[in-house]
Amino acid sequence: MAGYTANPDIRQQAANRLALVIAASQPTYPIYVRVLAGGDWWLAGITSLSLFAFLVVPWAARRSPLAGATLIPVAGAGNSIVGVILFGRASGVWAFVVPSVLILALAPIRHKGLLAVVLAVVASAAVLVAPGPIGHFSAAGLASLWRLNVTSAAILCVIATAMLRR
């Protein structure tokens, strides 16, 4: 893994490691949804497909610093939008837009402020107008999903800040 995440830019190297941390967490999400919310938990497997985008971040960063730095937040925001379509806004999955924008703001690229604003506006608008939910969950299940997603997004903010603050 050290060789795969290696990059001459230490900030991009940290972003590469962060991408692999996020990818590693993706396969467990359907399990959490099944245990905490029940209902149409199997839909969470669709959101786990984003792990492939996170896995290619180090490879993309070696080819283009801009691609490497923007792939994590774009994949995260895209995954949030898909989550809203699958689970609805009441699931709290929209909260992952926040760490996506934060990761872009901390990314090792120039002119990231404008990119972060664009991502925040586009992802927030998409979350607000996204159709859904496709899945059906009880009120208690949705409350559990909300706690899981909002807490996980907050934890990801802390991890991303710790890893990318240089």
Cα separation, 102 vs 2, in Å, equals 24
> Under the phi-then-psi rule, with left for phi > 0, alpha for psi from -120 to 50, and beta for the rest, what region is 39?
left
pLDDT of residue 68: 86
pLDDT tens per residue across span 40-89: 999 999 999 999 999 999 999 999 988 888 899 999 999 999 999 999 99
pLDDT of residue 121: 92
pLDDT of residue 75: 94
CA 23 → CA 17, 39, 135, distances in Å? 10, 25, 23
DSSP E strands in the chain: the ranges are none
Read off the tokens for 161. 């800040």
pLDDT tens per residue across span 10-29: 989 999 999 999 999 999 99
pLDDT of residue 165: 87
Q: At what angle do helices 97-106 and 65-87 cross, to 10 degrees?
A: 170
pLDDT tens per residue across span 96-138: 999 999 998 888 777 777 888 888 899 999 999 999 899 999 9
Q: How confident is the model at residue 142 (pLDDT cuts 50, 70, 90)?
A: very high
SS3 48: helix
